[in-house]
C-alpha cells in the first residue's frame, strides 16, 4: 500500500481534503468489518449488510471523527453498535433463524501430524461453539481480541467500555471457552 | 508445588495477567505450560480459521454484490405484479374480447358512472349520513 493511503488509514484528516479518500478507506476496512460481523453473526448476508451500513454511517459521520483513536477502532465501534442492534432485531424475528455456519477447519496447524491436526481442529471447533453461547458483550470483546487482534485499549475505545470492564469480560469469556473446550457445560 | 493451575489461572496466563507465583509455576511445570500453549494454539487456530472463512465469503460477496435495497425492490416488484394482475382482470387485453364483452364493459362503465354521480350528489359521505339531523 502506498504511503499516502497509509496516512489515511491511521487518521481521518477531514480538514485535509487531499487525504480524504473514502473509497480507499472502504476498500481497506470493509473486509475487516465484514469479518468481525461474520464472526459475530455467523451469517454472510447479515455481515454484508453490517459492513455496508457501517461504511455508510462512517461516511455520514466522518466530520465527527476527531482522530482520538485509530480509524479501525472508530469503524469497529460503529460495527459493534450495528451488530448489537441487529442481534436485538434478530431476537425479535425468532421465526427467521439464520443458518448456523460451521467454521471451516482447513489450514489449521498445517504440516503437523494428522492426529495433532485432528485434536487441534476439535479444539478450535469447541472454542467456536463456546463463543457462540457467550453473552453478547463477552463475545464482542472475545472476538475483537482473538480474531481481530485488538488490544485492551482499542477494545475499550471501540466498545465504549472501561479498560477494567473489558478485562473482566475478556477473562470471563476465556474462562467459559476453556471450560467448554475441556468438556464442561456450565461455568 | 501444591497442584496445577485451574481454569481461571490458565485463562489469566493466556491473557498475560498471570501472577508472579503462577509465572513461576508455569516455568517449572510442563503440564500447565502445555495446557497454556494448547489453549493459545486453539485460539490461534480460531483466528486463522475465521480469517480464511471470511476471506472466502467476502470474495463471494464481492463477486455477487447484494443490492442495497433488496427488500424494497422485492416489495415493489410484488406490488407492481399485483397491480398488473388486477388490471389484466379488469381489462382483458391479452385475450381480445368478443363484441358482447365490450358491450358488457360499456354497460359496467355506465353503472359505475351512475354510482359515482349518486355518491357525489350526497351531502356527506354515505357512512356519515346517520350523523345528519333528521
For cell 424494497, the residue is B72
**Tens-digit pLDDT profile for residues A101-155:** 566 555 555 556 788 888 888 889 899 999 999 999 999 999 999 999 999 999 9
Per residue in B46-65, is it b (16+ CB within 10 Å) or e — as a string? bbbbbbbbbeebbeebeeee
CA distance B118 to chain A (A): 48
Is the pLDDT assigned to residue B92 strictly greater than 70?
no
- Chain A positions touching B58 (Cβ under 8 A) are 31, 34-35
Please tell me if residue B55 touches chain A, with a CB cutoff of 8 Å. yes
Of the candidates A76, A39, A36, A86, the residue with the CA atom closest to the CA atom of residue A55: A76
Per residue in A49-66, is it b (16+ CB within 10 Å) or e — as a string? bbbbbbbeebeeeeeebe
**Tens-digit pLDDT profile for residues A42-97:** 999 999 999 999 999 998 887 777 777 888 899 999 999 999 999 888 766 655 55
Is the pLDDT assigned to residue A8 strictly greater than 50?
no
How far apart, in whole angstroms, are the C-alpha atoms of residue B98 and residue B77? 32
Whether residue A139 contacts residue A131, with contact meaning beta carbons closer than 8 Å, is answered with yes
State the pLDDT confidence band at A10, using cuts at 50, 70 and 90: very low
The yes/no answer to whether this complex scores an ipTM above 0.85 is: no
How far apart, in whole angstroms, are the C-alpha atoms of residue A167 and residue A175? 12
- Chain B positions touching A52 (Cβ under 8 A) are 66, 68
Please tell me if residue A112 touches chain B, with a CB cutoff of 8 Å. no
State the pLDDT confidence band at A21, using cuts at 50, 70 and 90: confident
- Chain B positions touching A121 (Cβ under 8 A) are 45
**Tens-digit pLDDT profile for residues B3-24:** 899 989 999 999 999 999 999 9
C-alpha grid cell, residue B84: 398488473
**What is the pTM for the complete model shown?**
0.69
Is the pLDDT assigned to residue B130 strictly greater than 70?
no
pLDDT of the residue at B118: 83
The dihedral built from the CA positions of residue A139, A145, A151 and A157, taken in this order, carries a sign that is negative
Amino acid at each position: 500500500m502506498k504511503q499516502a493511503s497509509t496516512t489515511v488509514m491511521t487518521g481521518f484528516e477531514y480538514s485535509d481534503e487531499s487525504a480524504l479518500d473514502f473509497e480507499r478507506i472502504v476498500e481497506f476496512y470493509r473486509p475487516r468489518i465484514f469479518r468481525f460481523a461474520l464472526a459475530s453473526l455467523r451469517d454472510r448476508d447479515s455481515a454484508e449488510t453490517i459492513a455496508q451500513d457501517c461504511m455508510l454511517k462512517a461516511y455520514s459521520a466522518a466530520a465527527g471523527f476527531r482522530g482520538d483513536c485509530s480509524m479501525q477502532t472508530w469503524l469497529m465501534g460503529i460495527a459493534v453498535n450495528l451488530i448489537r442492534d441487529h442481534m436485538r432485531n434478530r431476537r425479535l424475528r425468532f421465526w427467521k433463524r439464520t443458518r448456523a455456519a460451521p467454521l471451516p477447519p482447513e489450514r489449521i496447524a498445517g504440516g503437523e501430524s494428522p492426529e495433532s491436526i485432528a485434536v487441534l481442529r476439535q479444539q478450535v471447533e469447541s472454542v467456536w461453539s463456546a463463543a457462540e453461547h457467550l453473552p453478547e458483550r463477552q463475545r464482542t470483546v472475545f472476538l475483537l481480541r482473538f480474531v481481530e487482534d485488538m488490544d485492551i485499549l482499542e477494545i475499550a475505545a471501540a466498545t465504549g467500555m472501561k479498560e477494567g470492564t473489558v478485562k473482566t469480560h475478556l477473562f470471563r469469556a476465556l474462562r467459559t471457552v476453556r471450560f467448554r473446550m475441556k468438556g464442561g457445560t456450565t461455568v | 508445588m501444591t497442584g496445577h493451575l485451574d481454569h481461571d489461572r490458565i485463562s489469566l496466563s493466556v491473557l498475560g495477567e498471570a501472577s508472579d507465583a503462577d509465572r513461576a509455576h508455569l516455568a517449572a511445570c510442563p503440564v500447565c505450560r502445555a495446557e497454556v500453549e494448547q489453549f493459545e494454539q486453539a485460539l490461534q487456530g480460531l483466528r486463522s480459521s475465521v480469517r480464511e472463512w471470511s476471506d472466502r465469503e467476502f470474495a463471494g460477496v464481492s463477486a455477487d454484490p447484494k443490492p442495497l435495497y433488496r427488500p424494497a425492490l422485492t416489495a415493489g416488484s410484488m406490488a407492481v405484479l399485483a397491480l398488473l394482475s388486477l388490471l389484466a382482470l379488469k381489462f382483458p387485453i391479452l385475450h381480445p374480447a368478443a363484441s358482447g364483452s365490450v358491450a358488457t364493459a360499456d354497460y359496467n362503465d355506465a353503472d359505475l358512472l351512475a354510482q359515482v354521480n349518486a355518491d357525489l350528489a350526497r351531502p356527506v359521505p354515505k357512512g356519515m349520513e346517520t350523523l345528519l339531523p333528521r
